[in-house]
């Protein structure tokens, strides 16, 4: 299954049309104006959790943090990681 993420709020959709509607809504509001550089920081990739099989996102800043700490990217969503670390 293919997933689509809104470039503004990072909500995940299963249909590209839903994603485009969400982005259009944010563009229409124009409540927060961001530069291209700021928008790049919201760039997300969608991953599937190894445990629960649900999609989760990692944005550019999170990926850079893992790279700085010389850690591999997570394969589990935040809730599964917290359950596993208890």
Mean pLDDT by groups of 10 residues along the chain of 86 residues: 73 74 66 56 80 88 89 92 86
What is the residue range of 23's domain? 4-85
Count of domains in the chain? Answer: 1
Q: What is the pLDDT at residue 76? A: 93
Structure-derived torsion over alpha carbons of residues 59, 65, 66, 67, reported in degrees to the nearest 10:
110
- Compute the distance between CA of residue 60 and CA of residue 35 in angstroms, rounded to an integer: 15
pTM of the model: 0.53
2 near 15, Cβ under 8 Å? no
What six digits make up the tokens of 80? 């599964």
Q: What is the pLDDT at residue 1? A: 67
């Amino acid at each position: 299954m293919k997933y689509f993420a809104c470039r503004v709020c990072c909500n995940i959709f299963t249909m590209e049309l839903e994603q485009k509607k969400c982005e259009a809504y944010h563009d229409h509001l124009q409540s927060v104006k961001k530069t291209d550089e700021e928008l790049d920081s919201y760039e997300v990739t969608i991953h599937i959790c190894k445990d629960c099989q649900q999609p989760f996102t990692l944005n550019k800043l999170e990926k850079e943090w893992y790279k700085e700490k010389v850690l591999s990217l997570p394969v589990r969503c935040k809730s599964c990681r917290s359950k596993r670390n208890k």
